Amino acid sequence: MIVEFTTEAKRDLFEAAEYYEDREVDLGKRLRDEVAEVLKTVASAPCLWREREAGYRRVNCPVFPYYIAYVIREECVVVVAVAHGSRNPGFWHDRLR
């Protein structure tokens, strides 16, 4: 399946990577690479993660404390958020409307 990011999800990832890059050289790149690897798995088996009540699916990053929230739209996985697991994790729920 094709993976697309909403504008807000791109911003989420950019801001998180920038935060980590400010702390250590290449740490932001490692976050982006990890998200890309997780999304390769999601693209190959998007229904592997359960659909939540609000209609989205969520997959945790294995190293960084982030998760990726996505919806399936026809032949596309649409990433709606890249969110920190404990910092106001539901901030993006209004994006599902």
3-state class of 5 per DSSP? strand
Q: Right CATH number for 2-96 from 3.30.565.10, 3.30.2310.20, 3.20.20.120, 3.40.190.10?
A: 3.30.2310.20
69: β partners: 58, 81
How far apart are alpha carbons 87 and 37 in whole angstroms? 23
Residue pLDDT tens, the chain, 97 long: 999 999 999 999 999 999 999 999 999 999 999 999 999 999 999 999 999 999 999 999 999 999 999 999 999 999 999 999 988 877 899 998 7
Residue whose entry in the numeric block shows the structure tokens 């929230």? 69
What are the domain boundaries of the chain? 2-96
How far apart are alpha carbons 61 and 76 in whole angstroms? 20
Two tokens at 97? 């409307």
How far apart are alpha carbons 50 and 15 in whole angstroms? 27
